[in-house]
């Protein structure tokens, strides 16, 4: 036997009316608060060595800075042209003044590659004692002569393939002569130093050194 239909009842559980006043028929029982959320689990402990901790705490190394250029910026083409024009004008005024002070003097020849090689060559010969008057002690500058020879070698290397046959022959001859002159002077100085040493002591022992007596 079926149960009789029960009426559907709607219960208003609001405690306040629309204007905010308490409802006389409101349920006096306190509202149930939602249960608090469970605390978040703590992360597991991780052991770090002192070196690892220092590495993580240290800031990342800064990117290496590019080295600053040691040479100043090159001059512009306009600056180069102005400097060249001023140099030419000053040189012409100097030549005019020299010829006025020395009547009949010819205009000095223009500088050329042959004159550059000959200038370095003559400087090297003088540094090796060349041009010394008879009866005078030659003055030798070995370090200066070596630098002059190296200068001539660099000039030959940088101009290789850009010289005429006559210029290349002049360069080869100049380098050969100054190098051979340098060797002759250094060998002569070495022989002179050996000849100035005192004679060995009797028994073949050098002075100031112990000798073995048998």
Res 35 pLDDT > 90: no
Q: Is position 24 within any domain?
A: no
Q: Is position 207 within any domain?
A: no
Distances (CA, A) of 196 to 20, 141, 145, 188, 192: 127, 20, 24, 12, 6
Domain housing 185: 111-195
Q: Is position 47 within any domain?
A: no
Q: Is position 115 within any domain?
A: yes
pTM: 0.55
Q: What is the pLDDT of residues 40-71, one digit of tens each?
A: 666 555 555 555 555 555 556 666 665 655 77
Distances (CA, A) of 8 to 4, 5, 11, 109: 13, 9, 10, 130
Q: Is position 36 within any domain?
A: no
Confidence band of 22 (pLDDT split at 50, 70, 90) = low
Q: Is position 190 within any domain?
A: yes
Q: What is the pLDDT of residues 180-203, one digit of tens each?
A: 999 999 999 888 888 776 665 554
Res 210 pLDDT > 70: no
CA atoms of 214 and 203, how far apart (whole Å)? 11
Domain count, the chain: 1
Q: In this predicted model, which residue has the larger pLDDT, 172 or 214?
A: 172
Q: Is position 3 within any domain?
A: no
pLDDT at 99: 82
Res 153 pLDDT > 90: yes
Q: Is position 41 within any domain?
A: no
Q: Mean pLDDT highest for which of 54-63, 73-82, 100-109, 148-157?
A: 148-157
Is residue 121 within 8 A of residue 152, CB to CB? The reply is yes
pLDDT at 207: 46
Provide the phi-psi class of 174: left if phi over 0, else alpha when psi is between -120 and 50, else beta: alpha
Res 213 pLDDT > 50: no
């Amino acid at each position: 036997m079926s149960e009789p239909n029960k009426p559907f009842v709607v219960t208003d559980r609001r405690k306040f009316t629309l204007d905010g006043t308490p409802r006389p028929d409101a349920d006096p029982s306190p509202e149930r608060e939602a249960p608090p959320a469970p605390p978040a689990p703590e992360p597991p402990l991780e052991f770090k060595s002192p070196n690892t901790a220092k590495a993580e705490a240290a800031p990342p190394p800064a990117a290496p800075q590019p080295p600053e250029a040691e040479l100043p910026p090159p001059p512009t083409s306009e600056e180069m042209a102005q400097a060249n024009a001023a140099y030419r004008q000053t040189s012409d005024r100097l030549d005019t003044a020299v010829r006025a002070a020395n009547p009949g003097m010819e205009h000095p020849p223009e500088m050329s590659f042959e004159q550059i090689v000959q200038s370095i060559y003559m400087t090297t010969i003088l540094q090796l004692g060349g041009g010394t008057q008879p009866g005078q002690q030659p003055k030798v500058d070995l370090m200066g002569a070596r630098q002059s020879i190296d200068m001539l070698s660099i000039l030959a290397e940088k101009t290789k393939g850009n010289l005429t046959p006559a210029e290349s022959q002049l360069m080869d001859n100049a380098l050969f002569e100054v190098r051979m002159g340098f060797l002759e002077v250094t060998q002569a100085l070495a022989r002179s130093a050996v000849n100035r040493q005192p004679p060995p002591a009797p028994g073949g022992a050098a002075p100031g050194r112990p000798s073995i007596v048998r």
